[in-house]
């Protein structure tokens, strides 16, 4: 999520995107007979009033006495007290142990639901938990033996419904276990639930000891981070377009069919946009601007952090979600076979429950005051810009997050995580107390809720965890409360960052803005101004020009202004300051000369990304020039705007895609373009229009440098972002000559002079006389790469 796309205030009013259409209670008839500890066939929303529980409707206290029976045998299950650990539903000793934290509830009921009953909005069986037998501390637990085939589960909790105190207990609602390994509701993406509900009842899959997957010996690739080329992508968007021509479009299986495209491009790490369970119908409403319905396409609104997105699986809810889990595992296994690591984009900064007007799905109905940052009167802090803020540094919450991350590494074999709005993970929790966190008071401990911490307990736990401390950890080092930590995120020597400053500086310099030559040079070196002093390395900088949030690469050179009318918000959403340049005309319909300049600029940006120290990240579709028509906030479109268009990729196969493919190959082959240390003067020399005389003045639009490379020899790279051409003098190397490899001003295939370029010698002769004089003419807005080769004529 992009900082500038969020609302900058701390207390929540209404969530940015939440559409309270057809919430739970409005979709079901309520009936109110009392039930004993074991009951079957009740409607999902039958209400029972218990002792001293405030009613939602009246906030009055009622005096009905709860009926709590001792656990016993039912027709289906043998019941015993169970164990308080581990959390979730766990197959053990021939049965299943259920354990869940809920610190402020007064009673808990385990609800068992068959898949068929779920679709009819019925509970199959209810088991009330005895607080004397089935509770240890704040953990409810029970152990069952019986037949769990096609059985799902959830909970009902009773307690105070008093938002002013931070509590939202409602015993009429079935609550999801945060530790559920698969969440079952609708089976097909975009399909409405019963009675056209956008929020049909959900339940968790009950694991079985028979659940298994053949990993075929899969092991972590453990690629050095300095060698990564990351590809940010969307599972559904990657293959949903009709031109993908695959069997299972928009799914994990469909993505597997297209992994070879990534291999061809030179990608060795994919960063999956959110694949945790979310509700794509969260924003569901008719969009007159497009004539379709708005969807939560991006998925930055998590319901459950353990479950993969079920509707990204071709199998949907079959086998209670187990097949969907195996499809995700298959994707990881097949990516690893191709030498591609898998990083997940995780959203631990907020959840889909929004603010006080949002639905009660899971965390809020279990213990709202623990899982969310709250003000003294129960208001939701909104550092996420989406209605609530996950209370990450609370002991219960941080343990939950660590458990979740470990599960995805050990069980699902993912290789790392990118943390959305990660600065929220550094903020002090609600009711911050140093004794609670560190075990003793600290001097000057006057921290309030949300205060940034220099040593956040959650990040400390993750960084020093024997499992998580060995995987890739990437922070989006800002949030929507104004906290911006790029270059200063607490890192323990292992956290890298999305380098938003790299994006901004590179955009400004390449479009020809004065005053950024020095800042651009820092970016080329891996941003030592941000990372060197803190003891970090170039690979701690994740370099990107474009990402899901903002313009695509093609739109960056086509539009000066955002064009978001398709979002149905009167072009009021999205970032207004994009540092873009349309090259002289706004929009896709432009003169031939403008279109040529745009293609040149796209090559300039991509070349810059590939020759910069640090880790390059490419956004899906940029390799063929995907356009969203100037839409820089396409969060709500399940259509061509966000779909990878395979026919366009094929059309660019010999043009821009070829250029990108060869540039990634050049980076991988060059020892000097993925350094583990920042370059020094022994390896790198700066130049201007003449060698050894760089121009760092405010009006400079020229940056050039040479790199000593143990594989390529010596490399000369230059950027001319002026509107004027220039003839540069190349460094003199007696006994050697400079050979042109890349010139972004030339049309394909002469933009990259690979050995297989037809008539390569003829093309080279056109500028050889310049090179013979140690000169080279550079057009405006162009970049070049040259390699130093032995001068065979001089040595003859």
* 672 DSSP assignment: G
Rounded to whole angstroms, what are the CA distances from 536 to 460, 488, 620? 17, 11, 28
Q: Enter the tokens of residue 55.
A: 């009613």
Examine residue 310 and say whether the peptide bond preceding it is cis (omega within 30 degrees of 0). Answer: no
Q: b/e for 400-438, b at 16 or more Cβ within 10 A?
A: bbbbbbbbbbeebbbbbbbbbbbbbbbbbbbebeeeebe
**Per-residue model confidence (pLDDT) at position 433:** 52
Q: How many CB atoms lie within 10 A of CB 70?
A: 11
* Residues 527 and 542: beta-carbon distance below 8 Å: no
Residues 641 and 646: their CA atoms lie apart, in Å, by 13
- Where residue 639 falls (left for φ over 0; alpha for ψ -120 to 50; beta otherwise) is beta
Which residue, among 239, 230, 411, has the nearest Cα to 332 in the 3D structure?
A: 411
Parallel, antiparallel, or unpaired for β 541-544 and 615-619?
A: parallel
Beta carbons of 32 and 47 less than 8 angstroms apart: yes
Annotated catalytic residue: which of 345, 476, 573, 623? 476
Q: What is the pTM of this model?
A: 0.90
- Measured in degrees and rounded to the nearest 5, phi and psi for residue 690 equal -125, 155
Any idea what the Cα angle at residue 657 is, between residues 655 and 660, rounded to 5°? 110
Query: Quick one: which of 473, 480, 528 has its CA closest to 496?
Result: 473
CB-count exposure of residue 126 (10 Å: 0-12, 13-18, 19+): buried
Distance CA 673, CA 614 (A): 8
- The CA distances from residue 597 to 610, 622, 767, in Å, are 20, 17, 21
CA–CA distances in Å: residue 60 to residues 116, 305, 353: 37, 35, 25
* Residue 745: other Cβ atoms inside 10 A: 21
Q: Which two tokens stand for residue 689?
A: 């229009």
Q: Which 3-state string (H, E, C) describes 373-411?
A: CECCCCCEECCCCCCCCECCCCHHHHHHHHHHHHHHHHC
Distance CA 428, CA 456 (A): 8
DSSP 334: H
Around Cβ 513, how many Cβ atoms within 10 Å?
15
| Cβ atoms within 10 Å, residue 477 | 27
Which single residue is written with the structure tokens 């279109």?
595
User: How far is it, in rounded angstroms, from Cα 339 to Cα 322?
Assistant: 26
Region at 462 (left for phi over 0; alpha for psi -120 to 50; beta for the rest): alpha
By residue count, the chain amounts to 796
Taking the C-alpha atoms of residue 549 and residue 539, their distance in angstroms, rounded to an integer, is: 22
Q: Terminus-to-terminus CA distance in the chain, angstroms?
A: 60
- Determine the distance from the C-alpha atom of residue 384 to the mean position of all C-alpha atoms in its chain, rounded to a whole number: 14
420 is catalytic: yes
Q: Residue 439: what pLDDT?
A: 61
User: Which residues, at least 6 apart from 85, have a Cβ–Cβ distance to it below 8 Å?
Assistant: 99, 139
CA distance 323 to 253: 11
Exposure of 429 in the CB half-sphere (CA atoms within 13 A): 25
pLDDT at 524: 98
In DSSP notation, 609-652 reads HHHSSSEEEEETTTTTT---TT-S--TT--STTTS--HHHHHHT
Q: What is the pLDDT of residue 794?
A: 64
pLDDT digits (tens, 9 = 90+) for 675-705: 999 999 999 999 999 999 999 999 999 999 9
755 flagged as catalytic: no
φ/ψ of residue 785, rounded to 5: -130, 130
CA distance 34 to 57: 18
Phi (first) and psi of residue 346, to 5 degrees:
-115, 145
Q: SS3 string of 177-225?
A: CCCCCCEECCCCCCCCCHHHCCCCCCEEECCCCCCCCCCCCCCCCCCCH
Q: How far apart are CA 386 and CA 283, in angstroms?
A: 12
DSSP 8-state code for residue 61: B
User: Which residues are CB-neighbours of 651 under 8 A, at least 6 positions away?
Assistant: 624
**pLDDT value at position 435?**
59
Q: What residues contact residue 715 under an 8 Å CB cut-off, 6+ apart? A: 670, 672, 706, 707, 709, 785, 786, 787, 788
According to DSSP, the residues that pair with 707 across neighbouring strands are 684, 715
481-497 pLDDT, tens digit each = 999 999 999 999 999 99
pLDDT averaged over consecutive 10-residue blocks of the chain (796 residues)? 42 35 31 33 34 33 33 73 97 96 98 94 96 98 96 98 96 98 97 94 96 96 98 98 97 98 98 98 95 97 98 96 98 98 98 97 98 95 97 97 98 98 95 57 63 95 97 98 97 97 98 98 98 94 98 98 96 96 97 98 98 98 98 98 98 97 98 96 97 97 98 97 98 96 97 95 94 97 97 68
The total of other beta-carbon atoms located within 10 Å of residue 219's CB is 8
Q: Which helix (H) or strand (E) holds 261?
A: helix 259-265
Give pLDDT tens digits for 309-322.
Answer: 999 999 999 999 99
Distance CA 752, CA 654 (A): 11
Give me 607's structure tokens. 């070349």
At residue 565, φ and ψ (nearest 5 deg) are -60, -30
**pLDDT at residue 792 in the model:** 78
Task: Specify the pLDDT at position 59.
Answer: 35
Structure tokens, 667: 């980076």
DSSP structure class, residue 390: B
Please identify which of the residues 126, 420, 479, 622 carries the catalytic annotation.
420
How many other C-beta atoms can be found within 10 angstroms of the C-beta atom of residue 19? Answer: 15
């Amino acid at each position: 999520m992009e900082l500038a796309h969020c609302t900058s205030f701390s207390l929540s009013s209404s969530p940015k995107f939440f559409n309270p259409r057809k919430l739970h209670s409005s979709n079901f008839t309520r009936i109110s007979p009392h039930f004993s500890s074991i009951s079957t066939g009740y409607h999902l929303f039958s209400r029972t009033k218990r002792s001293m529980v405030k009613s939602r409707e009246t906030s009055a206290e009622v005096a009905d006495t709860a009926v709590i029976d001792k656990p016993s045998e039912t027709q289906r299950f043998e019941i015993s007290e169970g164990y308080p650990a581990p959390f979730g539903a766990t197959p053990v000793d021939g049965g299943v142990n259920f354990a869940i934290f809920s610190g402020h509830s007064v009673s808990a009921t385990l609800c068992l639901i068959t898949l068929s009953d779920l679709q009819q909005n019925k509970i199959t069986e209810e088991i009330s938990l005895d607080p004397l037998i089935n509770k240890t501390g704040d953990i409810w637990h029970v152990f069952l033996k019986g037949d769990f085939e096609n059985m799902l589960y959830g909970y009902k909790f009773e307690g105070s419904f008093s938002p002013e105190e931070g509590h939202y207990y409602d015993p009429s609602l079935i609550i999801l276990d945060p530790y559920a390994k698969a969440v079952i509701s609708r089976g097909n993406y975009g399909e409405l639930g019963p009675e056209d509900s956008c929020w049909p009842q959900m339940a968790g899959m009950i694991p079985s000891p028979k659940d298994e997957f053949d990993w075929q010996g899969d092991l972590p690739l453990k690629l050095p981070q300095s060698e990564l080329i990351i590809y940010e992508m969307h599972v559904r968007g990657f293959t949903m377009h009709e031109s993908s021509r695959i069997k299972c479009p928009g799914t994990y299986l469909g993505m597997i069919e297209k992994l070879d495209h990534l291999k061809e491009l030179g990608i060795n790490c994919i960063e999956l946009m959110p694949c945790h369970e979310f509700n794509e119908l969260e924003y569901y409403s008719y969009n007159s601007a497009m004539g379709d319905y708005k969807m939560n396409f991006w998925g930055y609104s998590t319901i459950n952090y353990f479950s993969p997105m079920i509707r990204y699986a071709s199998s949907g809810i079959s086998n209670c979600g187990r097949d969907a889990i195996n499809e995700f595992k298959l994707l990881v296994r097949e990516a690893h076979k191709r030498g591609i690591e898998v990083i997940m984009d995780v959203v631990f900064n907020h959840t889909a429950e929004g603010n006080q007007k949002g639905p009660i799905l899971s965390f809020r109905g279990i213990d709202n005051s623990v899982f969310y940052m709250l003000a003294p009167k129960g208001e939701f802090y909104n550092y996420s810009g989406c209605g609530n803020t996950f209370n990450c540094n609370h002991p219960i919450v941080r343990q939950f997050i660590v458990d979740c991350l470990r599960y995805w590494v050990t069980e699902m074999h993912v290789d790392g995580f990118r943390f959305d709005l990660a600065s929220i993970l550094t903020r002090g929790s609600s009711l911050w107390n140093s004794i609670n966190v560190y075990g003793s008071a600290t001097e000057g401990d006057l921290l309030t809720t949300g205060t940034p911490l220099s040593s956040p307990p959650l990040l400390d736990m993750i960084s020093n965890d024997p499992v998580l401390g060995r995987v890739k950890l990437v922070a989006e080092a800002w949030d929507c409360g104004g906290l911006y930590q790029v270059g200063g995120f607490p890192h323990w020597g292992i956290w890298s960052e999305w380098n938003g400053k790299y994006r901004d500086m590179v955009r400004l310099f390449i479009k020809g803005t004065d005053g950024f030559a020095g800042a651009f040079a820092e970016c080329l070196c891996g941003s030592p101004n941000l990372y060197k002093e803190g003891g970090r390395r170039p690979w701690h900088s994740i370099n990107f020009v474009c990402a899901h949030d903002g313009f695509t690469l093609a739109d960056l050179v086509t539009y000066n202004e955002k064009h978001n009318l398709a979002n149905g918000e009167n072009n009021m959403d999205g970032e207004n300051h994009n540092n873009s340049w349309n090259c002289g005309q706004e929009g896709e319909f432009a003169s031939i000369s403008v279109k040529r300049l745009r293609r040149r600029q796209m090559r300039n940006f991509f070349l810059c990304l590939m020759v910069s120290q640090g880790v390059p990240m490419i956004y899906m579709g940029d390799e063929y020039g995907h356009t969203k028509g100037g839409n820089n906030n396409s969060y709500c479109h399940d259509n061509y705007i966000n779909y990878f268009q395979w026919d366009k990729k094929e059309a660019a196969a010999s043009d821009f895609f070829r250029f990108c493919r060869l540039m990634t190959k050049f980076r991988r082959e060059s020892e000097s373009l993925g350094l583990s240390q920042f370059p020094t003067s022994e390896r790198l020399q700066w130049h201007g229009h003449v060698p050894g005389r760089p121009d760092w003045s405010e009006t400079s639009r020229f940056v050039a440098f040479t790199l000593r490379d143990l594989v390529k020899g010596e490399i000369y790279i230059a950027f001319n972002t002026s509107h004027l051409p220039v003839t540069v003098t190349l460094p003199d190397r007696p006994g050697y000559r400079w050979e042109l490899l890349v010139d972004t001003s030339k049309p394909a295939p002469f933009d990259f002079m690979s050995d297989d370029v037809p008539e390569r010698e003829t093309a080279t002769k056109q500028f050889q006389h310049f090179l013979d004089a140690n000169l080279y003419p550079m057009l405006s807005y162009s970049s070049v790469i040259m390699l130093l080769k032995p001068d065979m004529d001089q040595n003859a």
